[in-house]
Amino acid sequence: MTDNGRTAYEQYIRNLKGLSESTLRAYSNDISSWIDFLNQQGIAVNEAGRDDARLYISTLSMRQLAASTINRSLSSLKSYYSFLEKRGDVEGNPFTAVRTMKKPAHLPVYLTNREVSILLDNVEGADFTACRDRALFELLYSTGCRVSELCHLSVESVASNRIMIRGKGGRQRYVFIGEKARQAVDDYLPFREERLIEKGLGGIRALILDEQGKGLTTRGVYYILQKYMRKSGLSRKIGPHAFRHAFATEILNEGADIRVVQEMLGHASLSTTQVYTHTGIERIRQVYRDAHPHGRRVMRKPENPGDRNREQRAGRS
C-alpha cells in the first residue's frame, strides 16, 4: 500500500468532498498523528484494530485536547479507513465502534450591537487601511459569513447586494450586503485599486487585501480585530467569528425563523443553529438579573425537593 493510501485519499477528499483548505490540512495532520502513533507501536496501518483505535483516542484525551478536536480526528480517521476499505487495502474500519466524545455546552461568544458600534466608531480615517477595515467589519456583521469565506470573496462577487457563497462541504448559499456594508465596500474599492497600481500587481481578484496588495488571510483578520478591540477599550478576548455569532443572535432576536437563519449561516444541521436561541434566553436572563431587585435570588438553581426533605430530617435528628 503505497504511502498508506494517503495521497489517493487526500486527492479524493479534495476533489469530491469539497472541503476547505484548512479542513484538508486538519485531516492530513490527523492522519499523520495516527500513523506516528502506530509507528511507535510497531503496527502497520492495515494491521490496526479497534483496541489500537480506542487507545489512540484515549491518548488524545489524556493530552487534554478539546472534545471537538478529538471528534474531528475520529471523523477524519473513520473517513480515511472507509476509503481504504473500499479500495481493498484494509479489512474493516478500526474506528467504527469508537464513540465520539461529549462536547461541553458552551454558548457562543458574540459581539453585542453596541460593541460593534463602538468598534466601528474607532475605525477612523479615509485611507486604504481605515476603509478596508471598515468594509471588513461591516461585511462580517452584515453577511454572517465565516472569516475564511469572506477572505475568499472576489471583487466581482460584490457587484450586487446578493453574494453566492461556497461554504463547508461545498454547500452553496446566498448572503446579503446591508446598506451600511454596501457603502463601506463602495468607499473601499477605489483605495483597493489604487493599492494594486501602487504595488504593480495585476490579476489579484481577492476583495479584501493586506497592506502589500495580496489577499488578506484569516490570521490577518484576527490581528486587525485585536488592534481595534484594544483601541476601543473592549477587554473581552474574542475572534472574528464573534461577528457571525452577533449576526445570528441579532436576527433571531428580531424574530427571524430559525430554519431561514440556518440557511443563511450555511449550517448542515439545525441543532448547530439552535445554540443561538439559548443565547437569546441567556440575554433575557441577564437583563432580569440586572434589573429586578430580587433577580439574583430568584434566578438561582431550582431547589430539589428531595434535598429539602433530607435537610428537614437532619434537623429533627
Distance CA 245, CA 265 (A): 10
267 is catalytic: yes
- Spell out a b/e string for 22-39, using b for 16 or more CB atoms within 10 Å of the CB, else e: ebeebbbebbebbbebbe
Cell representation of residue 211? 497592506
Active-site entry in 99, 244, 278, 313:
244
Confirm if 208 and 153 have CB atoms less than 8 A apart. Answer: yes
pLDDT tens readout for residues 202-228: 889 999 999 999 999 999 999 999 999
Confirm if 185 and 177 have CB atoms less than 8 A apart. Answer: yes
228 is catalytic: no
292 is catalytic: no
Active-site entry in 132, 195, 241, 245:
241
Distance CA 171, CA 224 (A): 28
Where is 198: in which H helix or E strand?
A: helix 179-199
241 is catalytic: yes
Active-site entry in 54, 168, 199, 214:
168
pTM above 0.85, yes or no: no
146 is catalytic: yes
Active-site entry in 132, 146, 192, 195:
146
What domains lie within the chain, and their CATH numbers?
2-87 (1.10.150.130), 113-241 (1.10.443.10)
Q: Which of 24-33, 198-207, 216-225, 285-294 has the lowest mean pLDDT?
A: 285-294
Phi, psi of 215 (to 5 degrees): -60, 130
pLDDT at 69 over 80: yes
Distance CA 70, CA 30 (A): 9
231 is catalytic: no
pLDDT tens readout for residues 106-163: 666 778 888 999 999 999 999 999 999 999 999 999 988 999 999 999 999 998 888 8
